[in-house]
Amino acid sequence: MLKKIQSALISVYHKDHLEPIITLLKKHNVTIYSTGGTQTFIEELGVQVTAVESLTDYPSIFGGRVKTLHPKVFGGILYRREEQGDVAQASQYAIPAIDLVIVDLYPFEQTLASGAGEAEVIEKIDIGGISLIRAAAKNFQDVAIIASQAQYRFLTEILEANEGATTLVERKQLATHAFAVSSHYDTAIFQYFNAGTHAVTAFKQSIEGGRGLRYGENPHQNATFYGNLSDLFEQLNGKELSFNNLVDTNDAVALIQDFQECAYAIIKHTNACGMATASTPREAYLKALAGDPISAFGGVIATNRAVDKAVAEELDKLFFEILIAPTFEEEALEILKSKKNRILLVQKQTLQYGKQFKNILNGVLEQDANNYIENTSDWQVVTKRTPDEGEVMALRFANILVKHTKSNAIILAGKDQLFASGVGQTSRVDALKQAIAKAKNFGFDLAGAVMASDAFFPFPDCVEIAHEAGITAVIQPGGSVKDQASIDYCDSQNISMVFTGYRHFKH
């Protein structure tokens, strides 16, 4: 059933794209109430406006902090048109009905992001606007609410299609959007206040905007991505990113950001199957591919250097899902765009990892992201032999990699190349054996290679097996009650070992 809009309250911070709505309201003889800059804007369009101040008999006071907070405004929004008692009271107190509310909120998040001081940020906490939104949304049976510019076009379509009227279904839809706006706004304010030393223990997160994915981790699972990927990437080619694409892309970006040297990483099921640094992109890619050319098929590739023609010609020989880079040279794009489904992403900014969340059982886990990278100054050489310069470079390389590898994790590497990894094993010994077998399968000689472990060795068995394979240097967190057993074995075989003091479990 259509409900004719006879009156509207309009008070907005952003006035772009408002004019078509005003024109339609004028066409349908809607009485418009407004105040301040919005009133001036509407009047300059040649449309008559009733000032809110004339309705309430109160001016805008306290520097604009109080304008619409008045019973005649909120009564006109909240009174129930089908309740005779409400109708009688509205008549008794000369409260006019308000059928449409158009309001937006002060730009709190934008002001905060600009680096403004506390006083300016606090002034952008909207009071009247948020109250109007909640009131109108609550009374959706009688009132339509537009709570942001994002709904202007939808309202325009409604007014045009219904000749200035709304349906109950439309009003409820608008109310749903309004509560989404108000809850997101309040969450942002809470996060600002809760960043201090006396934080309230409460899980509150809000991300505006989401898009449905083709499916989730598996075809029978529905999935949605919440966020704005266009802030981070420009997609130059290829199909829409899938759930699994996004997961692997996240891990590829996180890994490549930890390297300053020219680097290439190849990710498969969130783990690096290839990783290398070199003086040129082509060399780095080919060395990364050599780590496991079988697993690289259908993988996600990331680099921290421009993709040029030389490396593009090599990349084009491999079927891969995604290539992420800071930029692509034109000749490289011509080559890589030859496959229409091949996803090419330009990463526009460094990804900032703050908090991480995981829903488990009947709640949510929250933790700080694992952003720490140990410097050599953090290392403690615990063996008689100190690693030489080449081993130090290899240990640093391997230790960064193991941080990004699923536990239990072992990395076998040289100074600039992943030889093999053992990932996601229930035993650290199994992870090591897996890595050794893979390295041999792809023709790597482990004599002089190094080993990194994401956690300590509870027994000396891993260093014994590693020594038999040719490993000469080891990096691990340390912390086992039996550390000395591993240290003693390394000393007996002239192996160098360093402790970092930092565990890097990843589950």
Active site residues: 138, 269
Give the C-alpha distances (Å, rounded to integers) separating 14 from 77, 107, 113: 22, 9, 18
Q: What tokens were used for 287?
A: 């060395």
Give me the DSSP letters along 33-44.
EE-HHHHHHHHH
- CA-angle at 48, arms to 42 and 53, nearest 5°: 80
- CA-angle at 267, arms to 262 and 271, nearest 5°: 115
DSSP 124: T
Of 136, 419, 130, the residue nearest 274 (C-alpha): 419
Residue type, 87: V
Q: What is the H or E stretch that residue 422 is in?
A: strand 418-422
Q: Quick one: how far is CA 72 from the chain centroid? A: 43
Q: What tokens were used for 249?
A: 């892309």
Beta-carbon count within 10 A of 212 CB? 9
Q: What is the C-alpha to C-alpha distance for residues 178 and 144, in angstroms, rounded to an integer?
A: 10
CB 25 within 8 A of CB 8: yes
Q: Quick one: how far is CA 90 from the chain centroid? A: 48
DSSP 307: B
Of 274, 280, 346, the residue nearest 310 (C-alpha): 280
Q: What tokens were used for 346?
A: 């330009």
Q: What is the C-alpha to C-alpha distance for residues 56 and 64, in angstroms, rounded to an integer?
A: 15
Give me the DSSP letters along 54-79.
HHHS---BTTTTBSS-SHHHHHHHHS
Q: What is the C-alpha to C-alpha distance for residues 52 and 10, in angstroms, rounded to an integer?
A: 10
Q: Where do the DSSP E strands lie in 167-240?
A: 210-212, 224-226, 233-237
The half-sphere exposure of 140 on its side-chain side, counting CA atoms within 13 A, is 20
